[in-house]
Amino acid sequence: MIKSKEATINVSGLTAATFDRRYPFCAIRNDSSNPVYVSTANDKCISGMDGVVAVAAGVSFVIENGIADTKTTTVFFRGNGSVTVIGQYDSNNRFKIQLKGGETKEITPESLGYVSGAKLFFDGYYNYVSKHADNGVAWVDMVGCNVMNRNSANSYADLIGTDHYIKQSGAASALHIPDKLEYDNFTAELFAEITGGNTDENDILANFQSSGFGILTEKGKIKACMYAQSSYHYTEGFTYSQNTKYLMTITYNGQTLSQYVNGELVETLDIPLENYKKPVVDTYLGSSGSGGDAYGTYNFYRFAIYDKALTVAEVMANYNTDVLRF
């Protein structure tokens, strides 16, 4: 019987952990190197069965207590390795880190100094939510624990630095964003280094397929692009240097697509919402839509999506935070 609200469980095969009180929710963090299956309602806890959730290595997840009429909380696990469990009374994902003097603080984009409200937020330091993992295969979102995987099933565990992910030439090591980004209003921002490529179009962020939007380089310039009225519309772009960090931002408010570099407005395109054709394929970092052609090489430090158009001041504020952190 677990008498504290947080516990480390060593999972071996089918394992049950029971708290001495009923918690409506439990936050689970998989600290092992293998997937772990979790349930509060299914005592067999077999993959594919109702009420069973797969938690990937290094990922955290909040599960609702599926049994309403008990005075205790039992969580069933199946797998092998260590997991951390927090019993809690709400559905927030609240893994914490230790600060000076023993104080704890929940790590969120807002606590790091960024504008609130991100739908997706991938961070080079906190690449596994509240910790850093030396695993370049997957990148975990700080907001909802969405997982961005490499385009290829091959292992790219070594394509990672202390604060960034590495993308090599070709589509295999591109990263698949777990969202088509079909928003009426949005902001997409990427803090990155362009480390190589050719003078043709090299897609950095893209979901192009006679639809969608993106950020790309072409003939020495960083450009923004959006598909509307049966054609792609490009900005003139910003002249860049390789191996230099840039915050590349595009915002769309339903009327105007705006391109920013390092917090400064570069150019706008007038594209009414009724003319914009939203993405029909998945979105990728480091390749074209659906993980196609990819020639550029990059270091990715931070990527975020908002379902609103950030203001000029907010774009600059996020850039200033990036400069301080990276």
pLDDT tops 90 at residue 247: yes
User: Which pTM does this prediction carry?
Assistant: 0.70
- From the CB of residue 215, how many other CB atoms can be counted at a distance below 10 Å? 23
pLDDT tops 70 at residue 292: no
Confidence of residue 291 (pLDDT cuts 50, 70, 90): low
Burial (CB count <10 Å: 0-12, 13-18, 19+), residue 144: middle
- Please give the pLDDT value at position 144: 85
pLDDT tops 90 at residue 282: no
Average pLDDT, the chain: 89
Average pLDDT over residues 23-39: 88
Among the listed ranges 60-69, 168-177, 199-208, which one has the minimum average pLDDT value?
A: 60-69
- Please give the pLDDT value at position 106: 67
* DSSP at 288: S
Average pLDDT over residues 143-157: 86
Confidence of residue 163 (pLDDT cuts 50, 70, 90): very high
CA dihedral 154, 160, 166, 170 (to 10 degrees): -10
- Asked if 272 and 254 touch (Cβ cutoff 8 Å), the reply is yes
CA 84, CA 79: separation in Å to the nearest integer?
A: 14
What is the percent of the chain where pLDDT is above 70?
Answer: 94
CA dihedral 16, 17, 21, 23 (to 10 degrees): -90
Q: Do domains 6-88 and 118-325 have the same CATH topology?
A: yes
Annotated domain spans of the chain: 6-88, 118-325
CATH second-level architecture of 118-325?
Answer: Sandwich (2.60)
Q: Which residue has the tokens 């394509």?
A: 159
Confidence of residue 139 (pLDDT cuts 50, 70, 90): very high
CATH second-level architecture of 6-88?
Answer: Sandwich (2.60)
Average pLDDT over residues 70-81: 90
pLDDT tops 60 at residue 128: yes
Confidence of residue 105 (pLDDT cuts 50, 70, 90): low
- Please give the pLDDT value at position 99: 46
- Please give the pLDDT value at position 60: 81
4 versus 276: the higher-pLDDT residue is 276
pLDDT tops 90 at residue 259: yes
